[in-house]
Amino acid sequence: MPVSMDMIGKRGEALFSVAITAFCSGRFWFEDTFLGAKAEALDFSVQLIGSSVFHANFYVQVKAIAKKKRYSGKGKRRRLLVTLEAADAKKLGAMKVPAYVVGIDIVSGRAYVKNVKAGATKGFTGISVRNRLNCNAIKIIWKEVEAFWQTRPQGMTSSAF
């Protein structure tokens, strides 16, 4: 049976959605919105549930991999072999709002997360398996994104309209 990139992509999106909306410590932490093919370099907008800032969110690019060789390295150096191109890193970094890449192992269903920092210009070729997107990571991401939105610059304070 031929396996198309479309099937892998759709399963990857579903696996991401399940991972980021996990029910942890008795509550939901995030709600995701799929942005679709029209959103360049961005696959999902993820809103924080229970944030003190209205519509506090971050963006995610999902990279799904189904190849036979999906990992390299051993122990702490083991990485899921997903690539973020430099062009996409620049786009995500230029937004200056929280952005992450989530690598999905289509076979095991596991998800790994890596932040793309503001001002990023370089891509990467793998995500450490230590960065598993699990309940622990979900709570850490919620806290760091909440902290970002609470301390963000003033924003647009004047307008012609």
Partner 1 sequence: MSETKKADLITERSKMLATVVLTRRLNIDVLPFGTVEDMGIDLIGTIRPDEDEPLQGFLPFAVVVWGTTKELHNENEATRYARSHKKLRTGTTFFMPVVVLLFSMLKDEAYFAWLVKPCKESGKLLHEKHLKFSVFGVAQLDKMTTAIKRWYGRISHEVVADAGELDSSQCLDDSE
> Binding residues for partner 1, per CB under 8 A?
1-3, 7-8, 10-11, 14-15, 17-18, 21-23, 27-28, 31, 49-50, 109
Least Å distance, CB 56 to partner 1, is: 15
Closer residue to partner 1 (CB): 51 or 115? 51
Comparison of 7 and 95: residue with beta carbon closer to partner 1:
7
Question: What is d(CA 133, CA 66) in angstroms, rounded to the nearest whole number?
Answer: 18
Residues 109, 49, 116, 70, Cα dihedral to 10°: 0
DSSP state of 80: E
Q: Please, what is the minimum distance in Å from the beta carbon of residue 54 to partner 1?
A: 15
Write out the two tokens for 159.
């307008």
Q: Cα–Cα distance between 49 and 35 in angstroms, integer?
A: 18
Q: Which is nearer to partner 1, 28 or 85 (CB)?
A: 28
Distance CA 146, CA 50 (A): 10
CB nearer to partner 1: give 22 or 35: 22
Phi then psi for residue 58, to 5 deg, are -145, 170
Q: How far is CA 126 from CA 55, 131, 148, in A?
A: 30, 11, 25
CB of residue 85 to partner 1, shortest distance in Å = 26
The least distance separating partner 1 from the CB of residue 88, rounded to whole angstroms, comes to 24
